[in-house]
Amino acid sequence: MTEPAVFVTGATGIVGSAALEHLLERGTPVVATVRSEADTAKLPSGAVPRTFDFAMAPRRIEAALDGCDRLFLMRPPPISDVETYLFPVIDAAIRRGIRQIVFLSLQGVQANRKTPHHAVEQYLKYVDAPYTSLRPNFFMQNLSTTYADDISERDEIFVPAGRAFTAFIDARDIGRVAAAVLTSDGHLQTSYTLSGEQSLQYRRVAAILSEVLGRTIRYSRPAERDYLDRLREQGRPEDYIDVQRMIYRVVRLNVSAFPNRMVRKLTGRPATTFREFAERERAAWER
C-alpha cells in the first residue's frame, strides 16, 4: 500500500463491516483486523487482513498499525477493562502518528460515568488524541439479533421500555458515518450523537413488523422484574443483567427518544427508516 490506510477494528462485526464496505466504496485503502483464517474469509475484496488482538503487547500493536494513518476503534463487548486493553491501543496509535481515531461510543455517555465508553472518551481527551467520537442510539439490529428469537418463535417483543419512544438507528448507517468522517476534514475533537430520523414506541415497531412479516407481532410491555427474570432463566450473568436494567431505565425516561438528522448531515443521505430495515432484514424473523 502506497497510500496510508484506515485500520479498522471489529472488521467482521455489524458496524465494523459496514465501515469497511463504505470506506472501500470511497476508494480508501483499508487494513481489517482478524483473529483467524476464518475471519479473513469474511472480508470483502480489497480489504487487507491483519492479525490483531487487544491483548497483544504494545510493540506488536504498533507493528500492526504500520502503513495506517487513521484508526476506527471499537470496544469488543467482552472487554470492560478498557484501561488494560484499549488505552494501550490509543497510546500506540499516538506514537505511530495516527492523525485520527474514530471511536464507536454510546449515546449519553457524557453523563454515564459507569460505562467503559465514558472512560475511553475521557482518556482520548486526556492524552490529547485526534479523536472523533460517534455516539449512536439503540441499534435496530438489536431486534434482528438479541431479540430475534422472541419475535420469530413467540411473535412478541419482550423489553421493559414501557410507553417510551426510541429513535433507533441502523448500524449500517453508523458505518456509513464512520467512513464519511474518516475521509473528510473538520471532525477532530468532535463528538456526534447519531439517531434515526423517526422516534417510535415499541408498539409501533411491532405494528411495522406485523405488516412486513404478514403475521401479528405484539409488544408485551413486560415489567422490569419479569424481563430480568427471563434473562436469568436464559443463564445471563449478573453484570449483563445489571447493564440491561440500567439501559431500560434510561429508555423509560425517554432519553433515547430524540431523533436527529446527523446521519443525513454527515453523509448526504437520510438515515434508514425502521420499515426499510425490517424489509431488508425480514429473514431474521421468518419461520
Q: Give residue 112's pLDDT.
A: 75
Q: Give residue 229's pLDDT.
A: 96
Helices (H), the chain: 14-25, 37-42, 58-64, 82-85, 87-95, 116-126, 141-144, 148-154, 171-182, 202-213, 224-233, 238-252, 262-267, 274-280
What is the CATH superfamily name and number for domain 5-136? Answer: NAD(P)-binding Rossmann-like Domain (3.40.50.720)
Q: Give residue 87's pLDDT.
A: 98
Neighbours of 253 (CB within 10 A): 11
Q: Give residue 109's pLDDT.
A: 85
* Domain boundaries 138-170+195-258+270-287, corresponding CATH code: 3.90.25.10
The three-class DSSP label of residue 264 is: helix
pLDDT in tens, 38-63: 899 999 999 999 999 999 999 999 99
Q: Cα–chain-centroid distance for residue 30?
A: 19
Question: What are the C-alpha distances in Å from 93 to residues 86, 89, 148?
Answer: 11, 6, 37
Burial class (CB in 10 A: 0-12, 13-18, 19+), 43: buried
The three-class DSSP label of residue 33 is: strand
Dihedral sign for Cα 85, 90, 95, 97, please: positive
- CATH 3.90.25.10 region(s) of the chain? 138-170+195-258+270-287
Give every residue of the chain whose pLDDT is below 70, as ranges: 1
Q: Give residue 284's pLDDT.
A: 97
- CATH 3.40.50.720 region(s) of the chain? 5-136
CA dihedral 265, 266, 268, 269 (to 10 degrees): -90
SS3 for 228-252 is HHHHHHCCCCHHHHHHHHHHHHHHH
Residue 216 DSSP code: -
Q: Give residue 214's pLDDT.
A: 97
Q: Give residue 2's pLDDT.
A: 73
